Amino acid sequence: MRHRAWTQASLVCLALCAALIAPAVRAQDAPPPTGHDITPDLPALLLVNPEITPHVEMSWETASGERVVFAGERPYGADADRTTLGENVSCYVGVGGSRLLKGAGHPRGAIIRVGFYKLAGAKAFFRDLPAGGVVEVRLSNIAFNQPVKPQPNSPVQHLKYSTEDLESCGLPGSARDQFTTVDPEETLNDRIRPGEDTRAGGLSGEPGSLGSVELTREDDGTISMVARFSYPTLRHMSDPWQSDLPGTFLEPIHFHIEFEVLPEGVEPLDLEAMRARTEALRSRIESETPVVTTGVGGSDQNDPSKNEGGED
């Protein structure tokens, strides 16, 4: 007869899932948060104000000294709602982004992104950009239904490359997404890999970085962003051609820059404390979970090679 056994790893996994899910289940019956979590007389849900339309501006200086400036208003939408901003660039402004998709956003926060696509994939994103050229992106008139505070370390630049371009460089389709962050410790919930698909701290503004992102709460309460990045930021980290000169390396077909805001009075997540609690919980469950086996045979019962029939 074949015996089915629960391994220690299986029990640990089940116990850990139960421990993590239980607080969320209990929270469904809990009263709404009060005090520090919600400012009195303000909405509990943070939303953008669609009646105030975001304004986008992109600019750079060409090799001949010309200042190229594209600007326009963009109502909130998705990437499919993008429209031409100028020359070979289309643009949209949306809610959400990579931080949200990777489960790294604050549960009380909101994420805003401004995205750009090439209109013609064979043409350069930025006409006549010189070696060492810098692109500037400005986003303003971001309004919400309550006072907010932008999180200075939250900005992320997401780059997406076409599968055809990747294949031409001998790169797999799994290498399609790349990221550049402000925070050198950012991992987006351990879903990005600094040094592999991420230039961590590349937009920190520190000496040797590739750019910067500045977030400002204006006098009228709206949020503005000014992002500056040097052209080498767009080069794929695994591109076999190591030149940073414009026109000599693989360009993305899309990039967006995003940032997170929190309601006034809400504290940022303490990621280090969260990781420490998770590891402590994991260690406790592993230490308290007994090894459960079936079968007869002394010390051989824990040896998979001696288990008749193997595992299903």
pLDDT for position 15:
38
Single-letter amino acid code for the residue at 28? Q
Q: How far apart are CA 308 and CA 298, in angstroms?
A: 14
Tokens of 64: 């001949």
Q: What is the Cα–Cα distance from 87 to 148, expressed in whole angstroms? A: 35
Residues 118 and 125: their CA atoms lie apart, in Å, by: 6
Straight-line distance from the first to the last Cα atom of the chain, in angstroms, rounded to the nearest whole number? 13
Question: What is the per-residue pLDDT across 236-295, written as a single tens digit (0 to 9) for each?
Answer: 999 887 777 787 788 999 999 999 999 999 999 887 766 677 677 778 888 887 766 555
Rg (CA), the chain: 25
Shortest CA distance to 225 belongs to which of 116, 131, 140? 140
Q: State yes or no: pLDDT of 154 exceeds 60.
A: yes
Note whether 89 and 111 are within 8 A (CB): no
pLDDT digit string (tens) for 20-42? 434 333 333 444 443 334 455 77
State residue 310's pLDDT score. Answer: 39
Q: Alpha-carbon distance 76 to 52, whole Å?
A: 10
Beta bridge partners of 47: none
Give pLDDT tens digits for 170-229: 899 999 999 999 999 999 999 999 999 999 999 999 999 999 999 999 999 999 999 999
The pLDDT of residue 286 is 82
CA 174 to chain centre: 17
Per-residue pLDDT, 17:
42
- The amino acid that residue 173 corresponds to is G
Task: Kindly report, residue by residue over 123-139, the tens digit of the pLDDT.
Answer: 999 999 998 899 999 99
pLDDT of 292: 61
Q: What is the pLDDT of residue 132?
A: 87
| pLDDT band for position 234 (cuts 50, 70, 90) | very high
* Token reading at 9: 């790893």
Average pLDDT of every residue of the chain:
83
pLDDT, residue 295, reads 52
Percentage of residues in the chain having pLDDT higher than 90: 64
**Cα(180)–Cα(192) distance, integer angstroms:** 10
Domain range summary for the chain, segments of one domain joined by +: 8-37+270-306, 55-263
Q: Which of 85-89, 148-152, 290-294 has the lowest mean pLDDT?
A: 290-294
Confidence of residue 18 (pLDDT cuts 50, 70, 90): very low
Beta strands in 5-153 (DSSP E): 55-61, 67-73, 83-86, 89-95, 110-118, 134-142, 148-150
Q: Which residues contact 296 (CB under 8 A, 6 or more apart)?
A: none
Tokens of residue 269, six digits: 């997540």
190 conformational bin, left if phi > 0, alpha if psi -120 to 50, beta if neither? left
Predicted pLDDT at 126: 96
- Separation of alpha carbons 253 and 119, rounded Å: 9
